[in-house]
Amino acid sequence: MKVNAMLKIKKLGILFLVCAMVLSVFAGCTAKTSTEAAPTATAAATEAPAVVEGPYYSADMTAEQIVVDAASQGKVGNWGLGNEYEIQALLSKYGQDTTYLSQAFDMDGFDDDSILLASAMTYNELGLVKNSYDGGYGYGDTVSYIDMNDEGVAMLEDNIFCTKTFAEANPNTVKAFIAASMKGWAYACANPEEAAEIVYSYGSSVSSEHQAYMAGEVKKLVETDTAGNTVTVYGKMDTAAMQQTLDLAKTYIKLDDAVAADALAGFELSNIMDSTYWDAAMADGAVLGTPEKTDVTIQLKWLPQAQFMGYYVALAKGYYDEVGLNVTITPGGGDISETTAVYSGQVDFGVTWVSNLIAANAGGMDLIEVAQVFQRSGLVLVYKLND
Amino acid sequence: MKKIKEIVNKNSFATTVYPILFGVLIVVLWQTQILHKILGADTFTLPMPSRIFDIILANTDSIWTNVVATLIVAIGGLIVGSALGFMLGVLATFAPKWGAGGLTVIAAFNAIPIIAIAPIANNLTKDLSDNPEIRSMIAKMIVVTLTCMVPMSINVNRGMTELKPFSLDLMKSYAAENRTVFFKLRLPNSVPYIFTALRVSVPVCVISALVSEYFAEFIIGVGRQIRENIVLAQYATAWAYITVACAIGIILYIILLIAEGITLKGRK
């Protein structure tokens, strides 16, 4: 009995030792970081006063001063993957190199100061940084941001697109889909709280408070253009803003494939958009006709959230049924490529950023934008303010 | 050269020529679009080999920059991971009681997906350097190290303990010290096992380097280029980088086989 007990104790001891060993491996890593953290913090504090007072930026600094300082420290962040062109245009505008840090899909990098000037969407990340609800960082008014629209480097984002072939074969379906979706957007913008709840009920990646915040911000993007003027018609394709988007895309989308690069250089607006469907769908007393295809699917660019409230509202309120469509909404997320999904015919419509559509067409797809939902850029660069 | 020739001769005709013939067949089917019909793919998502090679040839400079970045991470992580794994294997040999259990725990590391370790490694290395290029290289190397450590530690432990029958008794009958047993018996016995481990960890080091690049702060590397280009629907360019990634893996594996042939020559 005694021997057995001894063995048990030994075994337990061994188990403990192994656990300790494993833990020490991890502890070794964290210990290193904590000892190294102190000198970097003091270094930042001693270097910073040469430019500004305190490690961050003051409210009266110009966008140029902030961009130049953050870029010189190599601390401008963006997610990349086709979301970076406006940031690169801004960096170029102020004579900086166009390299940026790869930002994760959370704001931890901004929180721990490894990114001083972080990319954020007004309706999503900016809300998480400012607000203190579940998932928020609670910075409140201690942060400020640089708006791409104010800087003249805005590129248009969320649109509705399909393939040219699909649109030509199913013109009535496209018109009906636009008309019902825009009705959904109109209702959602008039009742953002209700729209947020509808989206939340369809499955959500974020809290209901954040959905409500998002609905309010998305409303602004849908109803205000890049110059800050109010837009009264939903989904309008503003030629000037589209042209600016295309011009910036031509400059900053870098393609290794010579065939695609040549195609991109020769692009005009007619290669990426066709406003005839929207014009016909939104005209007074428009006759939509019978849809050629009634079961259609729309692929979202991201997870179910108020960014796409117009479609969820149209679905919940039966606007799609009214025009004779049976619509399925497919959420995106991660690396799901909405352009490929539409091109390959898995889905009929998609929501993407105009720049992504341009890159995809340069690669050989035949996509066309049929409505432009967001009238201004929702991308900002957020920074912390000194106390 | 002579040595390499011998090795090539030693590997029978079938093991080298048939795989190559199969590869050629695939490329021919691919270029003639028969492969597209079999898979139901189009030339957009599965571009022609000729187009892919055109892109590789037109972008040798930028591809080389990315290859070097990936190789540093893969080989650096492989060396550090294998060295650590070796030490753990030896340690487990000299403390057999907890060694076996300890190795089982370490083997559990292999069950952690790379996509889970990579962001953690990023966060752990945030304060290591002010230069994001260096700290993200270290983060990627940690991932490769962890994945390469496991096969080495287990195989070295086996090589050190699974000795020829009675060989340990013989050493004891000579009153050999532990040191002598280690250097004259255990270490030589474990050499083939080290190569077995490397056969696993060389392909793994390339894969984990590619995947860890997805999450790295600093944007560089073959894996990152594959991801960027697929998301941007630039499939031809993505395939160019996939081809390069395959080439890295195959070349490293061939180097390993040659090294193994030279080292283990005349063993069996």
Q: What is the pLDDT of residue A49?
A: 42
Do A256 and A374 sit in the same domain of this protein?
A: yes
Cα-based distances in Å from B177 to B91, B166, B167, B181, B184: 17, 16, 14, 6, 10
Task: Answer whether residue A129 is part of any domain.
Answer: no
With beta carbons under 8 A apart, name residues in chain B contacting A43: 130
Q: What is the pLDDT of residue A24?
A: 47
The count of other CB atoms within 10 Å of the CB of residue B174 is: 11
Do A40 and A181 sit in the same domain of this protein?
A: no
With beta carbons under 8 A apart, name residues in chain A contacting B97: 10, 14
Q: What is the pLDDT of residue A93?
A: 96
**Lowest pLDDT segment from A24-33, A85-94, B162-171:** A24-33
Q: Across the interface, do B228 and A17 touch by the CB < 8 Å criterion?
A: no
Per-chain mean pLDDT for chain B: 90
Q: Across the interface, do A363 and B54 touch by the CB < 8 Å criterion?
A: no
3-state secondary structure A65-124: HHHHHHHHCCCEEECCCCCCHHHHHHHHHCCCCCCCEECCCCCHHHHCCCCCEEEEECCC
Tens of pLDDT, residue by residue over B138-175, are: 999 999 999 999 999 999 999 999 998 899 899 989 99
Q: A46 pLDDT exceeds 50?
A: no
The amino acid that residue A117 corresponds to is: L
Tens of pLDDT, residue by residue over A250-271, are: 999 999 999 999 999 999 999 9
**Which residues in chain A (70-129) have CB-CB distances under 8 A to chain B?**
74, 80-82, 99-102, 104, 108-109, 112, 114
Grade residue A41 by pLDDT with cuts at 50, 70 and 90.
very low
- Euclidean distance between CA atoms A225 and A377, whole angstroms: 9
A155-159 mean pLDDT: 96
Q: Does A40 reach chain B within 8 Å, measured CB to CB? A: yes
| Complex prediction ipTM | 0.80
Question: In this predicted model, which residue has the larger pLDDT, B115 or A294?
Answer: A294
Q: A203 pLDDT exceeds 90?
A: no
With beta carbons under 8 A apart, name residues in chain A contacting B105: 18-19, 22
- Euclidean distance between CA atoms A21 and A23, whole angstroms: 5
For residue A318, what are the domain limits? 159-378
Q: A53 pLDDT exceeds 90?
A: no
Q: Please name the residue ranges forming H helices in chain B.
A: 2-10, 13-31, 34-39, 49-58, 60-94, 96-107, 114-124, 132-161, 167-173, 178-180, 187-215, 222-231, 235-263
Q: Across the interface, do A365 and B44 touch by the CB < 8 Å criterion?
A: yes
Tens of pLDDT, residue by residue over B79-89, are: 999 999 999 99
State the count of interchain CB pairs (< 8 A) between A and B.
111
Helix (H) or strand (E) holding A290: none
Grade residue A87 by pLDDT with cuts at 50, 70 and 90.
very high
With beta carbons under 8 A apart, name residues in chain A contacting B123: 108
The total number of residues shown for chain A amounts to 387
Q: What is the pLDDT of residue A223?
A: 96
Tens of pLDDT, residue by residue over A362-372, are: 999 999 999 99
Q: What is the pLDDT of residue B9?
A: 60
Q: Which of A14, A99, A335 sits opposite B231 (nearest CB)?
A: A335
Task: Answer whether residue A230 is part of any domain.
Answer: yes
Q: Which of A21, A101, A344 sits opposite B217 (nearest CB)?
A: A101
Helix (H) or strand (E) holding A328: strand A326-330
Q: Across the interface, do A363 and B232 touch by the CB < 8 Å criterion?
A: yes
Kindly tell me the burial class for residue B133, based on how many C-beta atoms sit within 10 Å of its own C-beta (0-12, 13-18, 19 or more): middle
> Where do the structural domains in chain B lie, given as residue ranges?
1-46, 49-263
Tens of pLDDT, residue by residue over B129-145, are: 888 899 999 999 999 99
Helix (H) or strand (E) holding A321: helix A319-322
**Which residues in chain A (6-35) have CB-CB distances under 8 A to chain B?**
10, 14-15, 17-19, 21-22, 29-30, 32-33
Q: What is the pLDDT of residue A50?
A: 44
Do A35 and A163 sit in the same domain of this protein?
A: no
A137-165 mean pLDDT: 96
Mutate to test the interface with A, among B39, B218, B234, B244 (most CBs of A within 10 A): B234
With beta carbons under 8 A apart, name residues in chain A contacting B230: 335, 337
Tens of pLDDT, residue by residue over B222-258, are: 999 999 999 888 999 999 999 999 999 999 999 999 9
Q: What is the pLDDT of residue B231?
A: 87
The total number of residues shown for chain B amounts to 268
**Which residues in chain A (145-164) have CB-CB distances under 8 A to chain B?**
none
With beta carbons under 8 A apart, name residues in chain A contacting B232: 81-82, 253, 356, 359-360, 363
Q: What is the pLDDT of residue B103?
A: 87
For residue A297 the two structure tokens come to 């699917």
Do A36 and A184 sit in the same domain of this protein?
A: no
Chain B residue closest to A364 (CA)? B44
Question: In this predicted model, which residue has the larger pLDDT, A116 or A335?
Answer: A116
Q: Which of B126, B229, B237 sits opposite A114 (nearest CB)?
A: B126
Q: A43 pLDDT exceeds 50?
A: no
Considering only CA atoms, give the Rg of chain A.
25
With beta carbons under 8 A apart, name residues in chain B contacting A256: 55, 58-59, 62, 229, 234, 237, 240
**Among candidate residues A339, A295, A353, A351, the one with its CA nearest the CA of residue A320:** A295
> Domain B49-263 in CATH: superfamily?
MetI-like (1.10.3720.10)
B101-128 mean pLDDT: 86
Task: Answer whether residue A309 is part of any domain.
Answer: yes
Do A289 and A172 sit in the same domain of this protein?
A: yes
Q: Across the interface, do B128 and A29 touch by the CB < 8 Å criterion?
A: no
Per-chain mean pLDDT for chain A: 87
Total domains in the fold of chain A: 2
Using DSSP's 3-state secondary structure scheme, residue B106 falls into helix
Helix (H) or strand (E) holding A41: helix A2-47
**Among candidate residues B234, B236, B36, the one with its CA nearest the CA of residue A362:** B234
Q: Nearest 5°: phi and psi at A72? A: -65, -25
Cα-based distances in Å from A298 to A174, A287, B137, B175: 12, 23, 39, 78
Cα-based distances in Å from A353 to A11, B29, B109: 60, 37, 40
A328 beta partners: A297
Q: What is the pLDDT of residue A253?
A: 94
Grade residue B45 by pLDDT with cuts at 50, 70 and 90.
confident
Q: Which of A22, A29, A82 sits opposite B232 (nearest CB)?
A: A82
